[in-house]
Structure 1
Amino acid sequence: MDGLRIGFADGEVVRGVSFDLRAGEVLALVGESGAGKSLTARALLGMLPRRAEVAGRVLLRGRPVTPADLGRRLAWIPQDAMSALSPVHRVEDQLAFAVRAVARVGRGDALAVARRALAGVGLAPDAAAAFPHALSGGMRQRAVIAMALVNNPDLVVADEPTTALDPERQERVLALLRERCAVAGAALLLVSHDLAAVRRHADRVAVTYAGRIVELGPAELVLGRPVAPYTRGLLASLPAAGLSADALPGDGLSADGLPTAGRGEGLPGDGPPGDELPGDRTSEGGTSGGGLPGDRTSEGGTSGGGLPWDGTSGGGLPRRPRLPVLAGAPPAPGAAGAGCAFAPRCPHAGDVCRRTEPAPRAVEGRSVACHDPFGEAA
């Protein structure tokens, strides 16, 4: 993808997005809602609204992408598996339809291919022969993964593919998706808000803000030692990050007021599936390790776990500090204006930031679009 721009009547929403993907690689697009992640993904698939004004190039193995590539060279995994499955056809029949839409094979051969694909994602024969409503959410998502990969595409685009699943199933589905893409040699573009899952499963991460990529590089660098002020603020504002001493250590705010968390070696939720995160309500009505110290309840008392409002925990331990807050809000889609779109929220911002949009440049092993990522001019 080279210089992708997408605009509508009220302004430009995606503003010069560029990246490449290698066979078998997982690239995650992350950022706040409205940053242009899903539009970027849909541009790869040729699924943009007709009213969209598009500029830039999208190439797959050196050739322009066309709508005819969807289902052949390109595959899509949506947020809701039920929206991709017909309620009136058996799961294995739907995969067989997908096979026959691409290859000239008989129904029996297509069914054999479909059943192998479904077995590859762990669906038993009785589940493969069932209607979608008879399957659990995780099983339906596995079926959609099998359907996406059944024709051996070069690129799979997954837009929040685990949104409707519980945390344990989310982890299993993402691990399966990555494994099957690696086996098929397909690149995977993963759109997600779950930064902990992204760190576990992505090779590279592109952090988006107001329609641009502000930081792009290896996942362990971008999420472990972020450079762009927006990325640092985004990571520091994660609830579990602010409450977990070994997840994203830091004192919360630097001397210039920018959140500093995010320089550690882990992300919240990096443990095995099922681990509780700080602040999770337990069956006894308290909170799991870490808790939310000193939070008032609606009744005027304190949160579960016996944490009093006087600033100490039940065991006399000091209250943990409040989470850093990334002040302000992103600009409305299409209303970024001149200069850096993050400047109104950034404590490092200077005159050049408000006048000129920063170009991407190499910083510490990744690409960063920022005039002054370390605040040296502030």
Structure 2
Amino acid sequence: MPPPRTNPLLAVDALHISFGGVGAVRGIDFEVYAGEVFALVGESGAGKSLTARALLGMAPRTAAVSGRVLLHGAPVTPADLGRRIARIPQDALSALSPVHRVEDQLALSVRSVQGLGRREARAAARRALADTGLAPEAAAAYPHALSGGMRQRAVIALALVNGPDLVVADEPTTALDPDRRERVLTLLRERCAAAGAALLLVTHDLEAVRRHADRAAVLYAGRIAELGPVERVLGRPAAPYTRALLAALPTAGLPHRSRLPVLAGAPPVPGATGEGCAFAPRCPDATALCHREDPGPRTVDGRRVACHHPLREAV
């Protein structure tokens, strides 16, 4: 169950990211609360990873970023990274130094962030690695000697070893097979819960969101199409784009050689969304109003939706 709503841990207000005047993220607002799993979902190019990088102050140098990102009500600073905010990137191997043993890397992080001595830092590193299920011999190995799943466990331990308030995981299981993917996501969710940390999960995997997230924001063309509790967003989607994503999921029991479901068309090129709803050219329910006016967000059935005709199929 989602935690009680008090003051948000993370608040993102009117986030805009553009390149040469072309908007890639166009006014995103959302909040993340302590102890919850919040997912950013959408197709490739929707702005998920770019948003996550901007939250961490890691947007590309060529990007123009505006808006507010607040942690506990104060602007996020470089000093927050590693201590109060941790990041898990898509490629676990890239997050680990190839020339240092895994436990040494965690101990170094503990010393630099918490100021502990060598012995205390190494003990903290070993506890964090053991909490993720890594055996002592794996903790003492170099990253290249570990399997993909073991490296991902090491990266989770590295993210959590300094007790952050928020963990930002950007497609953290991309390189793993389905079984390992589920185990790693379960471990990540459980370790964050045990540490009292919120988890911001960036993914295109709707089934992973259904199983592991409390709330989700569905992004399309750099904006939030729908935001709310997962059981409502994925159980009874109000936005046509969310319904289209769910309809495109492959299901068990498809006849042999049958065509896989697809979401027709392609997302608009940044800067070419036009005056109306960005999804209108692909939406089977679009009307003249949809092509003419960009819908603003509204509250529908316990979630926020940017659509002129929300829940149209369910009415």
For 1:63 and 1:129, the matched residues in 2 are separated by 38
1:41 partner letter = A
Q: Which residue of 1 aligns with 2:169?
A: 158
- Shift of residue 372 of structure 1? 1.1
Give the counterpart of 2:14 among 3, 18, 40. 3
Within 5 Å, give how 1:351-370 maps onto structure 2. 351-370=288-307
Verify: 1:51 aligned to 2:89, yes or no. no
| Distance apart, 1:291 and its partner CA | 4.4
Q: What runs of 5+ residues in structure 1 fail to find an aligned partner? A: 241-277, 279-289, 296-321
In the other structure, the counterpart of 2:250 is 239
Deviation at 1:66, TM superposition (A): 1.6
Matched, 1:36 2:52: no
Given the superposition, is the C-alpha separation of residues 374 and 200 from structure 1 closer, same or farther in structure 2, using an over 3 Å criterion?
closer
2:231 counterpart residue number = 220
Superposition pairs of residues 162-311 of structure 1, within 5 angstroms: 162-240=173-251, 278=252, 290-295=253-258
How far did 1:13 drift? 0.4
Give the match for residue 139 of structure 1: 150
* 1:72 partner SS: coil
Q: Is the 8 A contact 2:250 2:261 kept in 1?
A: no
Tell me what 2:5 maps to: none
* Matched AA of 2:51: T
- 1:93-118 Cα deviation digits (max 9, x unpaired): 00011111112221111101100100
Write the deviation string for residues 318-366 of structure 1: whole angstroms up to 9, x where unpaired. Answer: xxxx555432211013322222100111122223222322111111111
> Contact 2:219–2:226 (CA<8 Å) still a contact in 1?
yes
Distance in structure 1 (CA, Å) of the matches to 2:140 and 2:32: 35
Q: How does 1:323-342 map to 2 (within 5 A)?
A: 325-342=262-279
Return the alpha-carbon distance in structure 1 between the equivalents of residues 282 and 209 of structure 2: 25
Cα deviation digits, residues 276-309 of structure 1 (max 9, x gap) = xx3xxxxxxxxxxx243354xxxxxxxxxxxxxx
Q: Which amino acid aligns with 1:336?
A: T
Post-superposition Cα deviations, 1:18-67, rounded to whole Å, max 9, x if no partner, equal: 11011110011111100000011111111001221111100000010122
Q: 1:343 to 1:121 in 2, by over 3 A?
A: same
Q: Cα deviation per residue 1:174-200 (whole Å; 9 max; x = unaligned)?
A: 001001111111111101111111100
- 3-state DSSP class of the match of 1:234? helix
TM-score where L is the length of structure 1: 0.77
Give the 3-state SS of the residue equivalent to 2:175 in structure 1. coil
Letter in 2 for 1:51: T
What corresponds to 1:86 in structure 2? 97
Unpaired runs of 5+ in structure 2? 1-11
Scaled by the length of structure 2, the TM-score of the pair is 0.92
Alignment correspondent of 1:305: none
Counterpart Cα distance in 1 of 2:257 and 2:136: 52
- Partner Cα distance (2:222, 2:295) in 1: 13
Matches of 1:374 and 1:203, distance apart in 2 = 21
Supply the AA of the counterpart residue of 2:60. P
Supply the AA of the counterpart residue of 1:232.
R
Paired with 2:44 and 2:228, the residues of 1 have a C-alpha distance of 21
- For the pair shown, which has the larger CA radius of gyration, 1 or 2? 1
Q: Structure 1 or 2: larger strand share?
A: 2
Secondary structure of the corresponding residue to residue 14 of structure 2: strand
Aligned equivalents of 1:374, 1:201: Cα separation in 2: 24
Percent identical among aligned pairs is: 74
1:174–1:201: 8 Å Cα contact kept in structure 2?
Answer: yes
Alignment size in residue pairs? 302
Aligned partners of 2:72, 2:144: CA distance in 1, in Å? 38
The structure where helix makes up a greater share of residues is 2
| SS at 1:239 equivalent | coil
* Matched position secondary structure for 1:86: coil
